């Protein structure tokens, strides 16, 4: 690490400490909206650290996942609100990425009711997993997922106005953005951040799409 990089890190650390005292950051909550289009195709990015990161531990997880796929597919179909869902091992984490319609808590409750037993089997492989079975601890599971879901970043106008030549200038960077990312790093577990999500057919629910294509349930 160069002296310049070390000096910059020290400056950022000092400025962040000052800014935190003057304007303590607050992680954004999921905003409630009465506009139906705001409650459709909502992303969830659930990151779950693996309890056993060895090849054997991962193999056991994958074998369990393979056996649970039919139940997971049937359960997600039964919720009738999930557009897409995928399970992926990223470094030392099992990640579930999905797009769903409606309220977050209701989505997780539907998930518990329809896929709970299959998810119980997967959670055994997760570090600091919630109380099991999740069907008997729905509120704890909802909070557990919420704590590990990535926040949806809303870009401040000051960030959008920056040019490529400004990204190394701490004075020009958005103070609120820097504080938000610093707070994400401090939470337990650390909070992940979703930067952007693309929708090729915005504003349409799962039910509308399946009805249009006559897929049915």
SS3 of residue 14 by DSSP: helix
The DSSP line for 44-111 is EEEEEEBS--SHHHHHHHHHHHHHHHHHHHHHHHHHS-EEEEEEEEETTEEEEEEEE-S-HHHHHHHH
Per residue in 28-37, pLDDT (tens digit) is 777 667 776 7
What confidence category does residue 132 fall into, taking pLDDT thresholds of 50, 70 and 90? very high
Question: Residue 208 above 80 pLDDT?
Answer: yes
Domain ranges of the chain: 3-29+153-191, 36-150+195-212
What confidence category does residue 119 fall into, taking pLDDT thresholds of 50, 70 and 90? very high
Mean pLDDT of the chain: 86
Per residue in 36-46, pLDDT (tens digit) is 677 899 999 99
8, 173 in Cβ contact below 8 A?
A: no
- The listed CATH number (3.40.50.1820, 3.20.20.70, 3.30.70.1090, 3.40.640.10) that belongs to domain 36-150+195-212: 3.30.70.1090
Mean pLDDT (whole number) for 135-140: 96
């Amino acid at each position: 690490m160069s002296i310049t990089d070390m000096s910059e890190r020290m400056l950022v650390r000092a400025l962040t400490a000052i800014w935190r005292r003057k304007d303590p950051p607050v992680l954004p909550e999921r905003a409630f909206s009465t506009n139906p289009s705001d409650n459709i195709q909502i992303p969830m990015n659930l990151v779950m650290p693996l309890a056993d990161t060895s090849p054997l531990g991962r193999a056991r997880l994958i074998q369990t996942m393979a056996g649970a796929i039919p139940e997971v597919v049937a359960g997600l179909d039964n919720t009738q609100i999930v557009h897409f869902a995928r399970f992926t091992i990223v470094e030392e984490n099992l990640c579930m990425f999905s797009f769903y319609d409606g309220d977050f808590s209701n989505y997780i409750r539907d998930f518990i009711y329809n896929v709970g037993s299959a998810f119980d089997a997967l959670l055994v492989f997760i570090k600091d997993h919630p109380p099991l079975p999740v069907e008997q601890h729905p509120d704890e599971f909802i909070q557990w997922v919420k704590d590990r879901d990535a926040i949806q970043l809303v870009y401040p106008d000051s960030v959008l106005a920056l040019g490529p030549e400004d990204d190394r200038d701490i004075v020009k960077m958005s103070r609120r953005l820097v504080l938000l990312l610093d707070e994400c790093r401090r939470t337990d577990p650390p909070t992940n951040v979703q930067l952007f999500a693309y929708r090729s057919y915005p504003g349409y629910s799962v039910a509308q799409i399946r009805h249009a294509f006559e897929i049915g349930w």
